[in-house]
Structure formats: C-alpha cells, structure tokens
C-alpha cells in the first residue's frame, strides 16, 4: 500500500477499505507515515466525510493502536460515562460514587480540561493528595477492592488518538464529526467499557453549538459503540447556561459534595439522576423502561441517604486524597478575593451565556489555554441565576472567587455580558433534548 494512494482515494470521495485505514493509522503511530501525509489525509476526511463503516474502522484502528485495558478479571460488566465537555459539568464526581454505591462497579479514565471546558482530573486534584496517575495494576486493584476508581488515561491507551488529535489541532481539522466521534470512542473502547453513557452537550458553552450537529455526533458514537458490541445510550443535554452553580475546580468539588449530601442545585441533581439512572440500568443489563424508573429512584435515594457521599469519601481515601476535605469542604482551597455582580435591572433572565461564564473562569485561572498552563484550584464563579428566573434590580447574579485583582477585573467584564434580561416572562431551558439508544 502507498500513503499517497490512500490520501488520493479519500480526496476524490472514495470509500477506504478497513485494511487501508488500519495500515494508515498504524503507519502514522509507528512514525512510518510523516505528519504531512497524515495532515493531508485528515483534511481530505474533513472535506469528504466518512461512511458509517469507515468511521467504525477508524475508531477500531485507533482503539487497537496501543494497550487495551481488560477489566474482565475484576468486573463482570463495566459501565462508563463520557461527557463531551461543558461549563460547570461536575456530573462524573456525583454519579460515579452513586452508581458504585448501588453495587455497580465503575472504573473511569478521565481527562484534563483544555479551553473553556473543565476536566474531571483537575477538579479532583483540588483535594490535597488525590492521585490521578494510577498504573494499570493499581487501577484494577482499586476497582476490585472498592468498586470505584477514577484516574488519568495512560499514554499507551489509544496512542494514535493522541498523535492525530495534536495534528488536527494545528491543521484546522478538529471539527469533523467522524474525527471527533472516532477520537472519543477509541479511548472509551480501549479503556474496557462494556456499556457507555454519552452526555453530548449542545449550546453556547459546548463544543457543538447546534442541535443537529450534536444529534449527528451522538448517533455516530452510538453506532460505533453498537457496532463494536457495546451497550450504548447518548443523551443530548443543554449547555447554553452553566450546569449547577459552581464553575471552577474546588468550587465544583464543593458543589458535588453538597449534591451527594442530598442538597445542591436542582438542575445538577436532576442531571445526575438521569445519567446515573442510565448507567445503573445498563450496568445491571436490564434495558426495560421500568428498570430506568427504578434506577432513577435508587440513585435519588443514594443521594439523599448519604451512601453516595460515603463512596466518594472512600474513593478519595483510596487514591491518597485528604478525606477531611470531604467531611469539611471549607478545607478545600479558597480564593483570597470575593466580588459580586448584581442585576442592573428587574426582569426575566433569558440568557446566562455559558461561554462567557467559562471565559471569566478561564481568566481567573481555573482553566488552561495551553496544555502546559498551571491552574488555580481555588478560583472560579458561582452563578446564582438561571434562564427563566425573575430577578429584581440589585439581586445577586454572580460571586467571583479570585486570587488576583487584574484577573478579577477581566472576569467581571465577561460576567457583566453573560446575562440577558427581558420584561416578558421566560421559560426555563430544557435540561435534555433527546435520548438515543443503541439497542432499543
């Protein structure tokens, strides 16, 4: 085979055979195919797209490009979740312990945040001592002993994705649905999941701004998983406004703990019940409608009776974290400066722009613009308003947690633009737009 033939075939709109895709991906991973040829191929895929079969073959090639975790010695059936990334999305921190507390083990590999969306590992590292660099043996041992583990992805897992993603980032080929879907799903397949719940975010604070695109991405990922023999569910959820109130690492951990104590913002609670319900239902391999209702009731009970919180504490301790921070969240990192933003007028809130809130949080130091940037766990924004709320002039809208005056001022600029008011009544935003099932 020749790389130029494969690039040319895709350039001309042809459909690549499984062997051609595998040869190309392996050649690139082994450094036999140079960046410029992969870059040309990626642009051809970006412009021409991929058939369903090609996308599945690309995903499998990337999943098989390195180590694949075999969870079967420790778990009969592994259930995982993935969010495409949002603002204030701390759902993993809440649902993992809830599902584990229900007796369904969870072994999750997560990522760090980049750009406007936060990463689960960064959030968990707000807890002093919490280790996210477990090796495979430690990972397997912990899920065996505790039924819950949350760690970073090892470099040897789907290495083709890491290499290809870095190239996509600098060749304007990130926003291609088959490339996004294969990137996400290759990592999920390689990390050993039997069932996967996808939370595909749509809106101003999401990767996918349009519902049609999000629905198509969700469907492609569900199809890939189903073709690879996995049980799949994808929900399309709103990300026009932040999820819950807290945006920023330690602030989000605190809110997750509150939610596991039976409190927390109502939208976050409902979101966790839905995602946790799907995970539990798939984990128990009972896909009936009745099982979903039962799973949601069970997740709610575990949230309210403290069992999920106890599991979260166990997770923190097992990975070397300071569990006293779970018992007393005031011990989590706290910012030096606080400031508030109030409603400039009375009316109904018609928008709380999630992207602007995320940019404010990024300005404060809660996120990173480049992979190597350090983050400040203490800083962020508390959002006190939701679309549909009636507010009076002077009501509290945001609390800023900062460690630097200049950054605080820049965050204010973003937040002043985030809310939009109108005099007529406004409906709350829906939390979910659709649910897509792999096997009905």
Name the residues annotated as catalytic: 82, 161, 168, 183, 187
Q: Name the residue nearer to ligand URA (CB basis): 122 or 255.
A: 122
> Which residues between 133 and 172 bind ligand URA (CB under 6 A)?
165
Of the two residues 80 and 376, which places its CB atom closer to ligand URA in the complex? 80
Q: What angle do CA 200, 296, 353 make, to 5 degrees?
A: 35
Smallest distance from the beta carbon of 165 to ligand URA, in angstroms? Answer: 6
Least Å from the CB of residue 174 to ligand URA: 6
Under the criterion CB under 6 A, does residue 184 sit at the interface with ligand URA? yes
How does DSSP assign 367-385, residue by residue?
Answer: S-SSTT----TT-EEEE--
Stretch that binds ligand URA, among 22-30, 179-187, 333-341, 394-402 (CB under 6 A): 179-187
Count of residues touching ligand URA (by CB under 6 A): 5
Using the contact rule CB under 6 A, the part of the chain among 41-49, 127-135, 175-183, 234-242 near ligand URA is: 175-183
The least distance separating ligand URA from the CB of residue 294, rounded to whole angstroms, comes to 32
- Please state, in angstroms and rounded to a whole number, the distance separating the CA atoms of residues 233 and 49: 24
Residues 133 and 114: beta-carbon distance below 8 Å: no
Give the nearest distance from C-beta 179 to ligand URA in angstroms: 6
- Cβ(223)–Cβ(259) under 8 Å? no
Least Å distance between CB 265 and ligand URA?
26
Is position 343 an interface residue for ligand URA (rule: CB under 6 A)? no
Residue with Cβ nearer ligand URA (111 or 306): 111
**180 sits near ligand URA (criterion: CB under 6 A):** yes
| Selection from 10, 61, 16, 15 nearest residue 39 by Cα | 10
Given CA atoms 45, 82, 402, 240 in this order, what sign does their dihedral have?
Answer: positive
183 lies in the site for ligand URA, by CB under 6 A: yes
Q: What is the signed CA dihedral for 36, 41, 42, 47, rounded to 10 degrees?
A: 130
Closest CA relative to residue 191, chosen from 98, 81, 328, 41: 81
Does position 189 bind ligand URA by CB under 6 A? no
Distance, CA of 48 to chain centre: 28
Q: What are the residues whose beta carbons fall under 8 Å from the beta carbon of 144, sequence distance 6 or more? A: 74
**Interface positions with ligand URA (CB under 6 A):** 165, 179-180, 183-184
């Amino acid at each position: 085979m020749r790389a130029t033939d494969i690039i040319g075939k895709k350039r001309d709109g042809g459909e690549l055979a499984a062997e051609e895709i595998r040869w190309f991906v392996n050649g690139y991973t082994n450094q036999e195919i140079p960046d410029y040829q992969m870059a040309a191929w990626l642009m051809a895929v970006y412009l021409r797209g991929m058939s369903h079969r090609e996308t599945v073959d690309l995903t499998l090639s990337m999943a098989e490009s390195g180590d694949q975790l075999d969870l079967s010695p420790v778990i009969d059936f592994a259930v995982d979740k993935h969010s495409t990334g949002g603002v204030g999305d701390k759902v993993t921190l809440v649902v993992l312990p809830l599902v584990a507390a229900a007796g369904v083990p969870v072994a999750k590999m997560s990522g760090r945040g980049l750009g406007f969306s936060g990463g689960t590992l960064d959030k968990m590292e707000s807890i002093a001592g919490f280790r996210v660099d477990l090796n495979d043996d430690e990972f397997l041992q912990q899920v065996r002993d505790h039924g819950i583990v949350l760690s970073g992805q090892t470099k040897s897992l789907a290495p083709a994705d890491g290499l290809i993603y870095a190239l996509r980032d600098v060749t304007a080929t990130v926003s291609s649905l088959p490339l996004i879907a294969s990137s996400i799903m290759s990592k999920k397949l390689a990390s050993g999941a039997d069932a996967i719940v996808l939370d595909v975010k749509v809106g101003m604070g999401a990767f996918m701004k349009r519902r049609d695109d999000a629905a198509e991405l969700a469907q492609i990922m569900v199809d890939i998983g189903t073709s690879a023999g996995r049980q799949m569910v994808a929900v399309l959820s709103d990300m026009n406004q932040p999820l819950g109130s807290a945006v920023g690492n330690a602030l989000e951990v605190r809110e997750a703990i509150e939610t596991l104590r039976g409190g927390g913002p109502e939208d976050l609670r409902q979101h966790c019940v839905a995602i946790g319900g799907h995970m539990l239902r798939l984990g128990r391999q009972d896909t009936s409608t009745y099982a979903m209702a039962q799973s949601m009731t069970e997740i709610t009970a575990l949230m309210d009776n403290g069992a999920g919180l106890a599991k979260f504490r166990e997770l923190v301790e097992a990975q070397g974290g300071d569990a006293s921070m779970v018992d007393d969240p005031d011990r989590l990192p706290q910012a030096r400066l606080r400031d508030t933003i109030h409603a400039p007028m009375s009316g109904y809130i018609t928008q709380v722009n999630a992207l602007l809130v995320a940019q404010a949080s990024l300005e404060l130091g809660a996120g990173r613009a480049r992979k190597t940037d350090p983050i400040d766990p203490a800083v962020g924004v508390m959002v006190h308003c939701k679309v549909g709320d009636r507010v009076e002039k002077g009501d509290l809208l945001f609390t800023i947690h900062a460690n630097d005056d200049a950054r605080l001022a820049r965050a204010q600029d973003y937040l002043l633009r985030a809310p939009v008011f109108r005099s007529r009544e406004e409906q709350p935003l829906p939390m979910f737009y659709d649910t897509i099932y792999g096997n009905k």
